[in-house]
């Protein structure tokens, strides 16, 4: 799981006890193309971007050890949503979707790790 920290700096900012208990089952390690898209999004949106497996048929189930239960998602403007959607359309061709988190990180009280 250390390889995720190398590709996605957001994960290096998590306390060790949180990182070590994260549910990695939905994460997708980005290829170079998708990682460039992710980095562009981080710059353009001023937020952290995480890569997830894209499966339009899978139902999502929340749990306390998922990133979205631990840190706050970014609030995006309509223009930012358009930017995200355009890059995510390209990433989905590679089986990856994005989630956008606040920068700086804001931990949610419901995170129980």
How do residues 8-37 score in pLDDT, each as one tens digit? Answer: 999 999 999 999 999 999 999 999 999 999
CA dist., res. 6 & res. 99, Å (int): 18
CA dist., res. 107 & res. 109, Å (int): 7
pLDDT-derived band at 110 (thresholds 50, 70, 90) equals: low
pLDDT given at position 107: 95
DSSP secondary structure code for residue 13 in this structure:
T
pLDDT given at position 63: 81
Tell me the angle at which helices 78-92 and 32-45 cross, rounded to the nearest 10 degrees.
180
In total, the chain counts a number of residues equal to 113
pTM over the 0.85 mark = yes
């Amino acid at each position: 799981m250390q390889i995720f920290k190398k590709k996605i700096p957001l994960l290096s900012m998590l306390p060790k006890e949180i990182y070590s208990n994260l549910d990695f089952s939905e994460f997708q390690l980005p290829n170079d193309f998708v990682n460039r898209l992710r980095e562009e999004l981080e710059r353009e949106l001023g937020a952290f971007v995480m890569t997830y497996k894209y499966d339009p048929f899978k139902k999502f189930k929340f749990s306390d050890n998922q990133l979205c239960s631990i840190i706050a998602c970014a609030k995006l403007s309509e223009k930012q949503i358009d930017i995200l959607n355009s890059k995510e359309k390209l990433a989905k061709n590679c089986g990856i979707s994005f989630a956008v988190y606040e920068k700086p990180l804001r931990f949610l009280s419901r995170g129980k790790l």
